[in-house]
Amino acid sequence: MQIFDLHFNPPNQSELISGQAKLIFDSFCYEPANIYEKRLGGLYLIGELKNVLPQNARFLDNLARVIKNQFYSTPIKSLEQNLKESLKRTNEFLEGEVKKDNTSWLGNLNFALISLKDLALNFTKVGDLKIFLIRGGEIIDLGKKLELQEIEPYPLKVFLNIVSGKLSTNDIIFVANKEIFDHFAKENLFLDIAKTQIEGKFSEKELKRILQAKEKIFAQISGVCLLILLTPEVLPKKAISFEKEARIIPLNKIFQPVFVKIKSFSKLVKFPKISIKKPALPKTFKKLVSKKPEIKPLPKFNFQRFFRKITTFPKIEFSQELKKKLILVLVLALFLILGFLIFQKEKRISSEQKQTIISEVQEKIILAENFLILDEKKSNEILKEAWQKILPLVQEKNAFQNEARILKAKIEETLFTLNKLEKIETPEILFEFPEKEFSPQKMVGIDRALYFFNTFNNWFFKFEGGEKTKIETNEKLNLGATLEKNSILFFSKPNRLVWLENNELKDAFSLKEPYSGFEFNDFSIFRQNLYFLDSKKGEILKYSFPPNLPQIWLGPEAKKVIGAKSMAIDGSIWILTQDNKIDRYFGGKYQQTLNLDVFPEPKNLEKVFTSYNSPYLFILEPDQKRIIILTKAGEIFSQFQSEKFDNLKDFWVSEDKIYLLNGQKIFWLKF
């Protein structure tokens, strides 16, 4: 790896001390100092601060020190964990500066953090720094991966997202402030660098030659630029020499000391002499042995006669029926043998196919890693294909099952990151209903108050400030929606409304029937208008408040919402369809369909929620124990999943918190 650290006309020390410098910039390159830090790789920081006040002359140095100290503080943790902890600590440091009334840096700070371990790249940035990748003559803007948000004074979260990817040998990372970048682009210096890269000539000498040609231009501008060339790591060759020639040593010399020891030991230890006498034979046995045995000649053996006897078989007569049965048995045996041979061949082919699948999946993982930094959507698609391919090998017992499990886990780890899925081991419990007291099925909220009800009881519970209050009604409640900041309307089938205002129940009233056979299965309110979903008829009914004559909201040519599961309103009406898509309607007309391109793939989405003030769509999926948050353009904002979400029934969103009704428990989480 080669690093080229370029500073163009930095302010001098006297300007910094006197406060005359209106712009400061610097770069900080940290290489691992020991074997433990090598697990995390190198850390490269580059920053720029505009409209500098004298007290912030060392602001960039302090910020870099905080990041570096936190990053290398716990090398036993993974690289990803250390990066997250570094950003968290950095945000705390910046928040502390705001609390000290040091806010002049807000809106003036441009800063980038780059982590490199082997060929793995992780980076984040804030402000207007430019981060580009130069590869094979192409110049790719990596900074577009980060959706930068405006810095708010408080609560403060400056560094938000981390982009990860896999680089290749001879890639060049280019980081610079906007002024330097603009001049590089204007003077076509990127093309010159890319050309030398393709030719394999990029070096310090070549970079100096390229910049010296534009020396007059760079003398008039200020800024910082960092170029990192990823070169192949070459291990030093160790020369091995021998001072003396090898000699062949005879074995008798090697073992001679052992023989000497044994010989000396035998002299020291005297063993008793042992004599073995032959046993005397009995006299009768001697007489028998002394007699010579009488040898009689063997009779002559007739080989031909013997062979005829053993090869002559008795004649067996088979009946016609027995012959047929024997033929059937032979045919069956033949089929069994052929079947066994075919099965063995198919088994061998199947094994070869499984090995091919393993190889294909490995290739897809490598391809996805290469695309990860260039095109996350493409990488996401490739990994989902790889996941589908490897899944059958994981689910059945075979010789490749363990290897398939490892590949599946590796794919899922990246897919979870790309799809912004956060697994929560122990979600926080707001409170829990005793089973004998109440069994909640639905919930609705106003500000900090939550209301829980079911279709079996004519009462509901209010929870606020840690206290529960039971409120009785004359109706069994099916649905609920917020009317105003201090009012809730509950719907009771088939057409009754219960109005709660300032914690007092008003008289219930009935809705006028829109048509015969209507059946409302969802309910929402927008600007004093009540909207009811009838998924059986595929209609949306609108009532003004107080309710009067109903109006069929969908236009005559609009696509009907037959089979719809849920509805949410923010000016547009969002319909969760039976095939797990979201249709948007506006002014009674169909506008578009959002296909949820998320991993894991949706199986059975049940509820969609949004509000006029929220930029997000919230979608509940109990089957996969998660809640999905999308932007209203259909992009993934976040996902939360937990094994504890094992009985999700409903949820409510208030500001930056999500309240989840899970069986008898109410969980809450921040998003």
Using the predicted structure, report yes or no on whether residue 251 has a pLDDT greater than 90.
no
> What pLDDT sits at residue 15?
66
- Whether residue 443 is predicted with pLDDT greater than 60 in this model: the reply is yes
CATH number for the domain formed by residue range(s) 2-229 = 3.60.40.10
Residue 57, pLDDT > 90, answer no
Residue 277: pLDDT band (50, 70, 90) is very low
pLDDT, residue 246, reads 37
* Residue 415 CB-density burial (10 A; 0-12 exposed, 13-18 middle, 19+ buried): buried
Q: Which of 60-64, 329-333, 570-574, 643-647 has the lowest mean pLDDT?
A: 329-333
Compute the average pLDDT of residues 20-28: 86
Banded pLDDT at 343 (limits 50, 70, 90)? low
Grouping H, G, I as helix, E, B as strand and the rest as coil, residue 222 is coil
Radius of gyration of the chain measured on its C-alpha atoms? 42
Smallest Cα–Cα separation from 611: which of 503, 507, 527? Answer: 527
Name which of 54-63, 303-312, 332-341, 497-506 the model is least confident about.
303-312
The answer on pLDDT for 266 being more than 50 is no
Q: Could you tell me what percent of the chain has a pLDDT over 90?
A: 49
For position 281, what pLDDT does the model report? 47
Q: How many Cβ atoms are within 10 Å of 127's Cβ, its own excluded?
A: 19
Q: Supply the pLDDT for residue 62.
A: 94
pLDDT in the model for residue 554: 96
Q: What CATH number labels 428-670?
A: 2.120.10.30
122 close to 163: Cβ distance less than 8 angstroms: yes
Highest mean pLDDT among 80-84, 143-147, 453-457: 453-457
Q: Which residue has the higher pLDDT, 259 or 419?
A: 419
Q: Tell me if the bond preceding 236 is cis, omega within 30° of 0.
A: no
Domain ranges of the chain: 2-229, 322-418, 428-670
pLDDT category of residue 344 using cuts at 50, 70 and 90: low
Q: Choose the weakest-confidence range: 119-128, 219-228, 235-244, 622-631.
A: 235-244
Q: Is the pLDDT of residue 147 over 60?
A: no
User: How many CA atoms within 13 Å lie on the side-chain side of 440?
Assistant: 28
pLDDT of residue 119: 86
Q: Is the pLDDT of residue 242 over 90?
A: no
For residue range 296-328, list pLDDT tens digits in order. 555 665 656 655 655 565 555 656 777 677 777
Q: Residue 154 pLDDT > 70, yes or no? A: no
What's the pLDDT tens digit per position in 650-666?
999 998 899 999 999 99
pLDDT in tens, 466-484: 899 999 999 999 999 998 7
> Which pLDDT does position 269 carry in this prediction?
43
pLDDT of residue 253: 47
Decide if pLDDT at 288 tops 50: no
Q: What's residue 284's pLDDT?
A: 45
- Over range 81-107, report the average pLDDT: 89
592/375: higher pLDDT: 592
**Angle at which helices 204-212 and 189-198 pack, to 10 degrees?**
150
> What pLDDT sits at residue 341?
61
∠ CA 147-152-155, nearest 5°, is 110
**What percent of the residues of the chain are helix, what percent strand, and what percent coil, each to the nearest 5?**
30, 30, 40
How much is the average pLDDT of 64-78? Answer: 89
Mean pLDDT along residues 64-93: 89
- Which uninterrupted H or E stretch holds 416? helix 401-418
pLDDT band for 241, please (50, 70, 90 cuts).
very low
What pLDDT does residue 228 have? 94
